[in-house]
Amino acid sequence: MEKKRLWVPTVVAQVCLCFGLYLAFQLGQPQNSVNLHRRSESRDLYFISVRGGFRPLKQQTHLLKQMEKVAKKYKAKFVVDISDLGKDDPLMQNGTLHFSSLKVPWYTTTVSGRYGGGYFQKQIRLPSKKTLDLIGVDTGSLEGKVLISGSSSEFGLNQLHWLTRTLEETSSDWCIVVGFHPLAKCEDSEEGMEANQVFESLHHSFMKYEVNAYISGRGCTSDVQQGTLSYIGNPGSTNALASVNETSIFSRELEVKFLLHRVSSLEIVTYFVSLNGEVVHKSVLHQKGKAVM
């Protein structure tokens, strides 16, 4: 009996030592994995944005597996597919067909050409009883086609009028616009003068009607703040992220593959997720303008 009692403090000490080592190990881990703060989970909405398009099957499958893991963990309500292929985008088709957690609404635009209808508006109710307006614009049809020798195409005018009217009438707490092309100025941009004038007009409208964020596909920058408007680009490849003053945050190129967005009543937090499932950058947009609380 005496020997048995001597084992008790030894076992307790070993258990405490193991727990202490485990705790120290956890505290020492780099905070770059997708393990986000979820204090107000029930009052926040999560969604994913990703660049669609064609990829080798192996790369596409790996990307969709990472997206599914994140979507399942954070209960993502929808996916924003930044692609000019619309419903024909292979990433969306395979994602919604083969991955259960990605069988959620996918919102995407398409280059509409003469047929129109490449833009959309979705009003989404947040758990906090606030609302989010998600607006898609067909920048592929606007680029270099709207302003030609001082004249405007019929489709370009229709979309611009629709966008102005939609932004003017919206009363949602948050407003996010999605397009193919970046609107933040790029030093190495090769876009024509006509396209730049159109995008400058869009920027003016976004500022006038207090759009909170513009999410685009390709771009030379990934996080640029202009006033109360945040430009968020999904590089989808080896593009270095940029800060507000357009200086590089990281000295190495980053494999950012998709973005996870958390929308609450007070802020929108965007997490840039790599192909390995690591958060390599975080951007926070606080509520300002017409819906300040």
DSSP labels for 148-182? BTTB--HHHHHHHHHHHHHHHH---SEEEEEESS-
pLDDT confidence band for 191 (50 / 70 / 90): very low
pLDDT, residue 104, reads 95
For residue range 219-247, list pLDDT tens digits in order: 555 567 777 788 888 776 434 343 333 33
| Poorest-pLDDT segment among 202-211, 230-239, 274-283 | 230-239
> Could you tell me which residue, 56 or 291, shows the higher pLDDT?
56
Q: Each residue of 60-87: b (16+ CB within 10 Å) or e? A: beebbebbbebbeebebbbbbbbbbbbe
Output 115 or 87, whichever has higher pLDDT: 87
pLDDT at position 41, please?
Answer: 58
Q: What are the pLDDT digits (tens) for 149-171? A: 344 456 667 778 888 999 999 98
- Look over the chain and give the mean of its residue pLDDT values, rounded to a whole number: 74
Instruction: Say what the pLDDT of residue 32 is.
Output: 56
- In this predicted structure, what is the pLDDT of residue 123? 93
What is the DSSP annotation of 205-235?
HHHHTT--EEEESS-S-S-EEETTEEEEE--
Alpha-carbon distances of 173 from 40, 124, 131, 209, 286, rounded to whole Å: 18, 10, 5, 12, 12
At 119, the pLDDT band (50, 70, 90 cuts) reads confident
Give pTM, 2 decimals: 0.75
